[in-house]
Amino acid sequence: MVEVSGGTLSRRYRWRHIAFIRRSLLILFVLGQTAVASYYLLWVLPYHGGTWIEVGMAVLFAILYAWIAVGFWTAVFGFALRLAGGDRHGLLRRHNRESLAATPLAKTAILLPIYHEPVQWTLNGLKAVYRDIERTGGIEHFEFYILSDSRDPSVWLEEQRRWHELVRELGAEGRLFYRRRPVNLNYKSGNVADFLRRWGRRCQYMVVLDADSLLSGETVVRMVQLMEREPGVGILQTNPTIINGKSLFARVQQFANRFYSTLFATGLAAIQMGDAAFWGHNAILRIEPFMKHCGLPKLGGFGIFGGPIMSHDFVEAAFMGRAGHEVWLETGLGNSFEESPPTLADELSRDNRWAKGNLQHLWVMLREPGLRFAHRMAFLNGIMAYLASPLWFGFLVLTTLEAVRMTLIPIEYFPEGHQGPFPLWPEWRPDWALLLALSTFALLFLPKFLAILDAVLHRYTREFGGFLRLLASVLLEVVISILLAPVRMWAHSRYVVAALLNLSLSWSGQNRTEETTWREAMATQFPGMLVGGCWSAFALSLDKLFFFWSLPVAIPLLVAAPTAVYLSRTRPGRVLKAWGLLRIPEERGSPMPLLDDARRFRLEPACDPVWSPFEAAVLNPGLNRLHQALARDHRRGPRSQQLEDAVAHCLNKGPAVLSREELTGLARDQQSLGDLHTGAWRAPDQSYWGQCINRKNREQGSR
């Protein structure tokens, strides 16, 4: 580790004062604005908060308004800081480029935890990262670990095959490793913990990637150097940019992430400073304190608040902070990439998992001792990302009840609790209501236009296709986000309720290619469409004005299925890209070597087009030898007979008659693989394996 000067040490502690001032300002702005808006709401309501329904509405409104005000002020902070030339208290600003570049590297593990991901696509992304680090000239300081949790033998056999090919292609023997856990406990964090238990003292740092992560070699090297110069930092998080969007949905998410995150991430980093969150990937972690302080306990509560922690990253950051280590989000570290789910259905499926994981944090937030206040707020922020939906839904329900009350129930001139000789006249103030609605819309959409102003001031509109195209892209994104907001609200509300009732949770890989069919869209969106339609019809039967107020929520719900289908299509995405809309800087000109490599490598043909990975493992002589070499002898005790029976069964009828567990048993056992290979090549022409060989023979003949 490099020596750290006294000046660096004093700077390290000064950030806490700066952070305190910034956070106090944020709280002041958010609470002040919320108080004013809530006061306005009380005046807008007919009884000015004189009924339980109105009190409920005011409380929910205040929570939701404060929540969106946090986002608004974060963007404003980002805008102001960029106007002032960037955050001079940022971590990267502490070191000049030369001194950082001269910092020697330390041994670092690049981890790729995977679970049923598209193998060729995922590992070729890692290949691109490897090549890019190689280009920096510092590859000898890095080790790469593919950490698989895949259970399906057709997936993990393919992973083993591709790992072996990669080692040969890259000349990475002794540098690129593969590990598959036989038992996958505790999701991704358990996978990383398994790595640490085995090789935790081999490296000083670990860079954690996701299946879709790409990090440039230069960025990885700078991260290691920054960690070397800042020994107080436990986790350093980059701000990943979404790329490779093909469907319209992915391109909208990609544009929004790339364009708005300039302000949001700058603001967020400035407020969090050394108490930032860890997002689980595209980050570097100091291994020794991580092992010492970030072991995740099993929660001791009820329902979802009991058992293993599902969403590990925020908790690990909080534990790191509790141990006195800093966690930084450094926006100056560019060239960090990830991908968006390609469809709304995929995003909602991911949100289903995340909602449960984030809600579970409530237990940690309230009960874990010694956590820093900023990290408790980060938990609250994550919880609100999903809890805001049922709160909004609740607000709409109360609004409807208020409308029912005003329309169908006789006016109460002396409601319960009202004191005084004069009746309480309900009064509507539609002009105030409109103002309030406009101020809420401003909180939501002003940051987007602030981002355009930022682009104009800092002269980077051209990177997004020029001012007019950028403006059109923002307007398009605003329209689509308005269409999606109620759909997400409805879906998230269901997820939150399901999470609180602790209903089952499936943890699966992400679809990266397929479009949504009408049938799928109707199956997933129909309940929301029904709710939207019924609510709107009911609103019309009550009051015409209330009906118009319901439309911004009801219309997106009613058109949710066509929205989901059209957003999942790649053609509109391509057309808009050709028109220069929703463009991001990474799509201009020739891409950087990392992205170019990733694109080319991922286009390489996938696995054997004739044989499934299991068939190839049995029949291909080279692959069979490879898998045998990686397998073990499992023929001990009663298992020996089971394996023999399974081999005979598989040779007779083929792998389809065996369960996944039986196939896994065969693929993990050296002798079974050898016996299958020998038997399959000697099988009659009409048998399953004979037919497999004939298919390959026909394919060879057609070449």
Which of 196, 317, 396, 598 is the binder for another protein (CB under 8 A)? 196
Q: How far is the CB of 297 from another protein (least distance, A)?
A: 3
Using CB under 8 A as the binding rule, whether residue 306 contacts another protein is answered as no
Give the C-alpha separation, 239 to 441, whole Å: 27
Token duo for residue 86: 């960037």
Mask 262-301, x = binds another protein (CB under 8 A)? -------------------------x---xxxxxxxxxx-
Give the C-alpha separation, 292 to 123, whole Å: 30
Give the C-alpha separation, 356 to 363, whole Å: 12
Q: How far is the CB of 118 from another protein (least distance, A)?
A: 22
What distances in angstroms separate CA 603 from CA 112, 122, 161, 597, 628, one per listed residue?
20, 12, 18, 10, 29
When the beta carbons of 61 and 611 are compared against another protein, the nearer one is: 611
Task: Tell me which H or E stretch contains 299.
Answer: strand 299-300
Distance of CA 576 to the CA centre of its chain: 25
Q: How far is the CB of 195 from another protein (least distance, A)?
A: 9
Q: How far is the CB of 230 from another protein (least distance, A)?
A: 22
Give the C-alpha separation, 396 to 391, whole Å: 9
Q: How far is the CB of 288 from another protein (least distance, A)?
A: 8
Place of tokens 């540098």: 175
Q: How far is the CB of 393 from another protein (least distance, A)?
A: 35
**Nearest CA among 255, 245, 181, 677 for reference residue 451:** 255
Q: How far is the CB of 322 from another protein (least distance, A)?
A: 9
Q: How far is the CB of 286 from another protein (least distance, A)?
A: 12
**Nearest CA among 114, 113, 108 for reference residue 133:** 108
- The contacts of residue 562 (CB under 8 Å, 6+ apart) are 521
**Nearest CA among 312, 258, 307, 316 for reference residue 285:** 316
* 464-493 residues near another protein, rule: CB under 8 A: none
Mark the segment that binds another protein (CB under 8 A) among 329-337, 520-528, 650-658, 680-688: 680-688
What distances in angstroms separate CA 590 from CA 462, 593, 596, one per listed residue?
15, 9, 8
Mark the segment that binds another protein (CB under 8 A) among 132-140, 162-170, 216-224, 508-516: 162-170
* 237-256 residues near another protein, rule: CB under 8 A: none
Mark the segment that binds another protein (CB under 8 A) among 64-72, 275-283, 492-500, 691-699: 691-699
**Residue 459 DSSP class:** T
When the beta carbons of 519 and 682 are compared against another protein, the nearer one is: 682
Using CB under 8 A as the binding rule, whether residue 702 contacts another protein is answered as no
Contact 272/329 with Cβ under 8 angstroms? yes
Q: How far is the CB of 371 from another protein (least distance, A)?
A: 11
Using CB under 8 A as the binding rule, whether residue 318 contacts another protein is answered as no
When the beta carbons of 293 and 569 are compared against another protein, the nearer one is: 293
When the beta carbons of 171 and 423 are compared against another protein, the nearer one is: 171
Q: Radius of gyration over alpha carbons of the chain, in Å?
A: 28
* Secondary structure (DSSP) of 684-700: -TTSHHHHHHHHHHHHH
Using CB under 8 A as the binding rule, whether residue 197 contacts another protein is answered as yes
Using CB under 8 A as the binding rule, whether residue 400 contacts another protein is answered as no
Using CB under 8 A as the binding rule, whether residue 670 contacts another protein is answered as no
Which of 88, 462, 625, 639 is the binder for another protein (CB under 8 A)? 625
Give the C-alpha separation, 205 to 358, whole Å: 27
What distances in angstroms separate CA 627 from CA 169, 645, 654, 666, 699, one per listed residue?
18, 20, 19, 11, 24
Residue 284 pairs with which residues in a beta bridge?
207, 236
Which of 622, 639, 648, 660 is the binder for another protein (CB under 8 A)? 622
Backbone angles phi, psi at 669, to 5 degrees: -105, 120
Which of 174, 410, 420, 638 is the binder for another protein (CB under 8 A)? 174
Which of 54, 143, 662, 669 is the binder for another protein (CB under 8 A)? 143
Using CB under 8 A as the binding rule, whether residue 164 contacts another protein is answered as yes
Contact 212/121 with Cβ under 8 angstroms? no
Using CB under 8 A as the binding rule, whether residue 355 contacts another protein is answered as no
When the beta carbons of 7 and 370 are compared against another protein, the nearer one is: 370
Q: Strands 326-329 and 336-339, how do they pair?
A: unpaired
Mark the segment that binds another protein (CB under 8 A) among 412-420, 542-550, 654-662, 681-689: 681-689
Query: 3-class DSSP state for residue 176?
Result: strand
Contact 139/173 with Cβ under 8 angstroms? no
When the beta carbons of 174 and 410 are compared against another protein, the nearer one is: 174
Give the C-alpha separation, 163 to 514, whole Å: 26
Using CB under 8 A as the binding rule, whether residue 186 contacts another protein is answered as no
Give the C-alpha separation, 548 to 536, whole Å: 9
Mark the segment that binds another protein (CB under 8 A) among 29-37, 83-91, 270-278, 676-684: 676-684
Give the C-alpha separation, 467 to 259, whole Å: 13
When the beta carbons of 58 and 296 are compared against another protein, the nearer one is: 296
Q: How far is the CB of 217 from another protein (least distance, A)?
A: 22
When the beta carbons of 271 and 294 are compared against another protein, the nearer one is: 294
Place of tokens 């072991």: 295
Using CB under 8 A as the binding rule, whether residue 202 contacts another protein is answered as yes
Which of 17, 88, 198, 660 is the binder for another protein (CB under 8 A)? 198
Using CB under 8 A as the binding rule, whether residue 303 contacts another protein is answered as no
Q: How far is the CB of 103 from another protein (least distance, A)?
A: 24
Contact 274/328 with Cβ under 8 angstroms? yes
Mark the segment that binds another protein (CB under 8 A) among 112-120, 171-179, 245-253, 391-399: 171-179
**Residue 657 DSSP class:** G
When the beta carbons of 299 and 348 are compared against another protein, the nearer one is: 299
Using CB under 8 A as the binding rule, whether residue 201 contacts another protein is answered as yes
Tell me the H-state helices in 273-372. 287-293, 313-322, 344-367
Burial class of 682 by CB neighbour count within 10 A (0 to 12, 13 to 18, 19+): exposed
Using CB under 8 A as the binding rule, whether residue 200 contacts another protein is answered as yes
Q: How many residues bind another protein (CB under 8 A)?
A: 47
Using CB under 8 A as the binding rule, whether residue 182 contacts another protein is answered as no
Using CB under 8 A as the binding rule, whether residue 630 contacts another protein is answered as yes
Give the C-alpha separation, 68 to 34, whole Å: 10
Using CB under 8 A as the binding rule, whether residue 173 contacts another protein is answered as yes
Residues forming contacts to another protein in the complex (CB under 8 A) are 143, 164, 167-168, 173-174, 177-179, 193, 196-202, 287, 291-300, 319, 368, 619-622, 625-626, 629-630, 678, 681-682, 684-685, 693, 696-697, 700
